[in-house]
């Protein structure tokens, strides 16, 4: 079963990844907007993509990791100096963004609502 992790904010993300041990297993990371008090993200694109991502996650190798990263509230994300935008490992320009950690695989924005792309993303072990 895929091991799921959740992290909120840039500093927590950096700290988490510094200490994270994947033991050679695939690491997929989803970056999305923070959830509001009602439990729903302020990012409508993230809300739209969530069920597609969750469904496709079932195709991921059992021995893999899925890390959900909350990039912050809307003003934090919209700041062009947001560290998630500047970090060379994440280099985000849109949310939701799904990446394979330290690999080129990446889906951005509406690509995260395409079941076929998501299944290929999670099934691809290269």
112 is catalytic: no
List, in sequence order, every residue forming a beta bridge with 108; answer none if it has no partner. 97
Of these residues, 17, 27, 30, 46, which one is catalytic? 46
43 is catalytic: yes
Q: Which H or E element spans position 4?
A: strand 3-8
Of these residues, 7, 26, 43, 50, which one is catalytic? 43
Residue 66: name the closest of 74, 75, 78, 58 by CA: 58
Half-sphere exposure of 10 (CA within 13 A, CB side): 14
Burial (CB count <10 Å: 0-12, 13-18, 19+), residue 116: exposed
Q: Which residues are catalytic?
A: 43, 46
């Amino acid at each position: 079963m895929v091991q799921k992790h959740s992290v909120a904010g840039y500093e927590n993300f950096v700290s988490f990844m510094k200490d994270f041990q994947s033991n050679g297993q695939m690491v997929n990371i989803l970056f999305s907007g923070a959830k509001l008090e009602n439990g729903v993200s302020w990012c409508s694109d993230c809300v739209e993509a969530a069920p597609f991502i969750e469904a496709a996650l079932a195709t991921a190798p059992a021995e893999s990791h899925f890390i959900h990263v909350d990039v912050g509230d809307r003003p934090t994300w919209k700041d062009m100096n947001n560290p998630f935008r500047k970090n060379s490992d994440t280099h985000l320009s849109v949310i939701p963004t799904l990446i394979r950690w330290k690999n080129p695989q990446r889906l951005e924005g509406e690509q995260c609502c395409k079941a076929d792309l998501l299944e290929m993303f999670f099934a691809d072990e290269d």
